[in-house]
Every structure is written in C-alpha cells, then in structure tokens.
Chains A and B, each alone.
Chain A
C-alpha cells in the first residue's frame, strides 16, 4: 500500500539556520503530496502541497518540490525562526485518504 517515510527527529537548529526535512514516498499512480505542521497543543495545519510532478509548493518561506524520479518531497526553509518550532508531517493522497509519515519534531533555538 501507499506509504511515507520521513527523517527521524528531533531536529534542533539555531535561528537563521537552513532546514531540510527529508520525505520519500511509495505509491501507485500519481498521488498528491502535502506537508502539514502541528504547533504545540494544536491540530494539524496544511503548510503546502503539490499535486503533480515538478510542482513546487511554498508557504511561509517553506518550499518542497514533487520529485517523481526520486519519489521525494523534501521540505526546506532557508532561515528558520523560533516560531517554526513544531512537528512536521509529510503526507500523500492517492486513491485513499491521507497517509502520513511519522512526523519530525523541529526545535529552533535563539
């Protein structure tokens, strides 16, 4: 079945550092890919998405490119802030409801 694998956390970075959170997927067909973010004590919020190969999703300085050849959707941000501290989930949606990765906890320290 469809699955998502993302890098294990936690990830700890200093403010203004570059962020990469790796995400790879296995799916039949052409799924849509998502990144969701969960701030402490809250539900999930959609961060960005891409619906076809080579699409780039972007929001709040975060970017991810749908790479079909490597089945990847890595999340990047050029300069993280303390307010970016959260858990980030990679997810895919093919012919079923969202399938999530296990999440990566990011802590940004000043």
Chain B
C-alpha cells in the first residue's frame, strides 16, 4: 500500500531563516506531487505541483520554492522566512493529475515563524 511521509511534524523558525520541508511517498511510482498551505482561518491553497522529476508548476508567486530531486521526494524551501509563511503545510500525491483521481494527503508540518 502507499504511504506518504512529511517531516518535521512541527517547526518553529525565526524570521529570515531558511526552510526545508520534506515529503516522500512509498509504494507507488511516478506520482503527481503537491504542496498546499493552510493558513490560520483560511482554506487550503495550492502552492506547487509536480508531474515528474525536476518538473515544478507554481500556482502563486511567493517566498517559497519547490524541488523534486527524486521520483518520490518533494521538497519545499525558502531562503528567508517571513511571518506570513506561518501555517500548516500539507503534501499530497495522486496517480492522475486531473479528473477523478483522488489526492492523498500526508500528516502535515506545522510551521510557526516568529
């Protein structure tokens, strides 16, 4: 069966520090991978998605970037964190990008920028 891991589970970082969040998927090949952010009191915002190694689509311009160095690894990064980067970051995967394909979510990383 497929599983998705995210780490760390919780992170407290000072403003201006770098960020690296990691997501890995097991039990499937060539998944579509996604990063979402859930800010306090707001809904889920799609940040990035990837259909293959090195292929990244950005949905919103911001202080973050994503990379996919391996087939089942998706990394979310920032060079300098802002207060507004605080939130709950969710990684997801799917077999099919569009249509009926279900997206499966990881447990999330809670980031607090102080």
Mark B70-109 against chain A: 1 for CB-CB distance below 8 A, else 0.
0000000000000000000010101001111111111110
Is A89 interfacial (CB 8 A cutoff)?
yes
Chain B proximity of A65: nearest CB distance (Å): 16
- Nearest-CB residue, chain B, relative to A96: B98
A15 vs B102: C-alpha distance when bound (angstroms) = 30
Of A16-24, A67-75, A76-84, A98-106, the one with at least 4 CB within 8 A of chain B: A98-106
Which residues of A84-110 are within 8 A (CB) of B? 89, 93-103
Q: Kindly list chain A residues whose C-beta atoms are within 8 Å of the C-beta of B36.
A: 100
B44 at the interface (CB under 8 A from A): yes
The listed residue (B42, B43, B97) touching A97 by CB distance below 8 A is B97
CB distance from A23 to the nearest CB of B (A): 12
Q: Spell out A's residues near B (CB within 8 Å).
A: 32, 34, 36, 42-46, 49, 51, 89, 93-103
Which residue on chain B has the smallest CB distance to residue A98?
A: B103
Contact assessment for A94 and B98 in the assembled complex, using a CB-CB cutoff below 8 Å: yes
Interface presence of B53 (CB below 8 A): no
A89 touching B102 in the complex, CB below 8 Å, given contacts A44-B90, A97-B34: no
CB distance from B96 to the nearest CB of A (A): 9
Q: Nearest-CB distance from A32 to chain B (Å)?
A: 4
Q: Which residues between 1 and 54 of chain B lie within 8 Å of chain A, taking CB atoms?
A: 6, 32, 34, 36, 42-44, 46, 49
CB of B42 within 8 A of CB of A102, answer yes
Do B107 and A103 touch (CB < 8 A)? no
Question: Closest residue to B108 on the A side, CB-wise?
Answer: A43
CA distance A97 to B94 in the complex (A): 9
Q: Which residues of A contact B108 (CB under 8 A)?
A: 42-43
Question: Beyond A43-B105, A103-B43, is A93–B34 a contact (Cβ under 8 Å)?
Answer: no
Contact A44 B100 (CB under 8 A): no
A97 and B46 contacting across the interface, CB-CB below 8 Å: yes
CB distance from A1 to the nearest CB of B (A): 11
With both beta carbons as reference points, the residue of chain A lying nearest to B32 in the complex is identified as: A97
Q: Which residues of B contact A46 (CB under 8 A)?
A: 102-104
Query: Ordered nearest first, which 7 A-B pairs have the shortest CB separation?
Result: A102-B43, A100-B44, A44-B105, A51-B100, A43-B105, A32-B100, A43-B108
